[in-house]
Structure 1
Amino acid sequence: MLAQQLVNALSLGCVYALFALGFTLVFGVLGIINLSHGAVFMVGAYAALEAVTALDLPLAAALVLAFVASGVLGLLIDLLVLAPLRRRNAPHLIPMIATIGCAIALNSAAQGLFGADNLRFPDGLVPSDALSLGDITVTPVEIGIVVASFVIMALMLIVLRRSQVGRALRAIAESPKAAALLGINVEGLFRATSFIAAGLGGAAGVMIGLYSNAVYPLMGQPMLHKGIAVIILGGMGDIRGALIGGLFLGFAEVFAVAYVGSTMRDAVAFGLLFLILLVRPQGLFGKVAERKA
């Protein structure tokens, strides 16, 4: 029983981490909390669903299409909404409000196009036979989510720490003006970050749509709330923190359901999160920001 709960907690925690990885990348580079990320996540799920039902594409091709479609959408949001606000030096609250408007528009458009009912990926798209190891049962989707979470985190850390692009992104995160003076194409990297982060969000939408067996217009809203909690717990803008925070929330929820009760799931999970932030308000991997008078 305990071993199965650990596996369930790992897969659920990686679900949250998969969503939060792109979310935290945007904050780490652009310095904003993009509240349209949940809607972009939903668009990726619908793009893959249409690819496998209308175009009869395999799941791998549908994932690529979802990444590209979501990435283009994230790029458009940056070009049409966030970039003009950056040029005007808008306060941090303004982009958050603007992305809320984008999310509402995208959710409404999806509901108009596809309806409000839950849609599902076709049967047989992913092997349904679970892998049994003694008392532990794991589905192929759960294995895919766990592997994808760790692989994406590792690749992002390698790029950010070992590559020239990663060093440029870290410079932008510290000071966009100083980075521009050093000859770094700040706006170009902002756009590339928006594309990649949104693409990761769309791919996460496909994986989680398969995991929950449901695609619907508001599927990104609960994930957005959990994603905000995850990046705050892990440390704003820290890639490692997105994974660790997601795992913490997943383990807290699963064990709360198993040993306290399903009605106390969120109360226990967010109560523990609150206690941790009381001790370490900057998050597990975050740094304390100095405020100068």
Structure 2
Amino acid sequence: MQDLLNAATLGSIYLLFTLGMALVWGTIGILNFAHGATFMFSAFIGHVVTKHTELPFLAVIAIAVAVGAVMSTLTQLLAFQPILKRSKNQHAAEMRILIGGIGVAAIPLAIAQRYTRSSPFGFRSSYDAEVYQFLGLRITTTALIIIVTGLAIGIALTVWLRNSRQGLALRAIGVDAETSAGMGVNRPALALGTMAVAGGLAGLAGALLTFHLGAIAPETGDTLLIKAFAIVVLGGLGSMLGTVLGAYILAAAETFVIFMNWGTWVNAVSFGLIFLILLVRPQGLLGRKEVRRT
């Protein structure tokens, strides 16, 4: 039961990180490889600020969320949007955006590595996690916040994307950007808003993971980027509910591997799940097959 509780905490971290990436990729069609750097750098700015002054828990979270949202918005404005304008169509821009995202990610990574000398960094905060015990299970207030926040945001984003007017417009862009633009959908404005939300979620995940572990390394975002890619493929591109399930399935699989003392195989689980899903069910657990009519 303790391992299941740990898996739920790990899955919620994966979920918060992946939701933004899945939202951007499944709607406006951008595979943002700078998402991991946004996650890390948001927590890094929180580290720099709290190094000089002690802040409460919510203040650090707010800083990380704001930094993540601003970073993603600037990435869209200064990098991805110009690439889209100079490309013939969305498919022609995909590879350029992917490479552009890798280039953008290198900048904050280099800054954090130089400032910290590639050492882990954390927060100086007035917040102290408490440990609760119930029926032999141990859980900290931070882990409880992570689980509740992850599930709440995952469910809320799924409902919003299905039922709201803006969610319908985003899903329309994901199906056919040209037709949706002809029907009055403002793709540039929605893309900016989507990137801002994705960046805010990355910043939230970065701050919560730093509070949970005590410190993260500048390269932590790159590791989570691989996990997020596996989760999106596992759950199904364009399905937020699939992303929720995929995050907890991957976390449970990795926890099982560690429980069996096969720790060196943890990273192989991500790639193994990608390979297995691509062979058995390419559209993912809750994804739909793409139908092309000519």
2:50/2:125 contact within 8 Å kept? no
Instruction: Give the Cα–Cα distance (whole angstroms) in 2 for the partners of residues 196 and 116 of structure 1.
Output: 28
Residue 146 of structure 1 aligns with which residue?
Answer: 147
Aligned position for 1:66:
64
Deviates more, 1:191-200 or 1:44-53: 44-53
Shift of 1:123: 6.6
Give runs of aligned pairs for residues 1-293 of structure 1, distance below 5 A: 3-89=1-87, 90-122=92-124, 125-127=127-129, 129-268=130-269, 270-272=271-273, 274-291=275-292
CA distance in 1, matches of 2:195, 2:5: 33
Letter in 2 for 1:38: G
Shift of 1:52: 3.2
Q: d(CA) in 2 for partners of 1:63 and 1:177? A: 38
Deviations 1:152-193 (A, max 9, x none): 112212221222211221222222222222222211111111
RMSD of equivalent CA atoms: 1.9
In the alignment, is the contact (CA less than 8 A) between 1:52 and 1:59 conserved in 2? Answer: no
For 2:274 and 2:218, the matched residues in 1 are separated by 28
**For 1:290, what is the secondary structure of its paired residue?**
coil
Q: Take 2:166 and 2:49, find their aligned partners in 1: how far apart are those partners? A: 32
TM-score between both structures, scaled by the size of structure 1: 0.92
Is the partner of 1:184 in helix, strand or coil?
A: coil
**Comparing 173-182 with 90-99, which one deviates more in the overlay?**
173-182
Structure 1 CA distance for aligned equivalents of residues 139 and 257 of structure 2: 20
| Count of matched residue pairs | 290
Letter in 2 for 1:167: L
Output the CA distance in 2 between the equivalents of 1:36 and 1:268: 23
* CA deviation string 1:193-245 (max 9, x = no partner): 11111111111111111222213321201111111111111111321122111
TM-score (norm 2): 0.92
- The Cα of 1:276 is off from its aligned counterpart by 4.0
- Quote the Cα distance in structure 1 between the aligned partners of 2:154 and 2:201: 11
* Contact preservation (8 Å) 1:233, 1:245: yes
The 2-side partners of 1:160 and 1:132 are apart by: 37
- Alpha-carbon distance in 1 for matches of 2:76, 2:225: 19
Task: Provide structure 2 residue ranges, at least 5 long, that are not aligned to the other structure.
Answer: none
Q: In the alignment, residue 107 of structure 2 is paired with which amino acid? A: A
Kept in 2, the 8 Å contact 1:172–1:186? The answer is yes
SS at match of 2:93: coil
Deviations along 1:272-292, one digit per CA (max 9) or x if unpaired, are: 553344221211111122355
Instruction: Quote the Cα distance in structure 2 between the aligned partners of 1:242 and 1:42.
Output: 21
Q: What is the CA deviation profile of residues 65-123 of structure 1, one whole-angstrom value per residue up to 9, with x for unaligned ones? A: 21111111111110111001111234311100110011112201222233311122237
Listed as ranges, the gaps of 5+ residues in structure 1 are none
User: Which one is further off, 181-190 or 220-229?
Assistant: 181-190
Q: Which deviates the most, 107-116 or 133-142?
A: 107-116
How far apart are the structure 1 equivalents of 2:273 and 2:108? Answer: 33
Q: Aligned partners of 1:160, 1:276: CA distance in 2, in Å?
A: 25
> Partner amino acid for 1:232?
V
Identity rate, percent: 34
After superposition, the Cα gap between the structure-2 partners of 1:183 and 1:141, relative to the gap in structure 1 and judged at 3 Å, is same
Deviations 1:8-57 (A, max 9, x none): 11111111111101110110122121000000000111122234333433
3-state SS of the aligned residue for 1:131? strand
> Relative to structure 2, which stretch is displaced further, 8-17 or 172-181?
172-181
Q: 1:92 is paired with a residue of what secondary structure?
A: helix
SS of aligned partner of 1:237: coil
- Identify if the C-alpha distance between structure 1 residues 4 and 75 changes in structure 2 by more than 3 Å, giving closer, same or farther: same
Instruction: Tell me the secondary structure at the aligned position of residue 91 of structure 1.
Output: helix
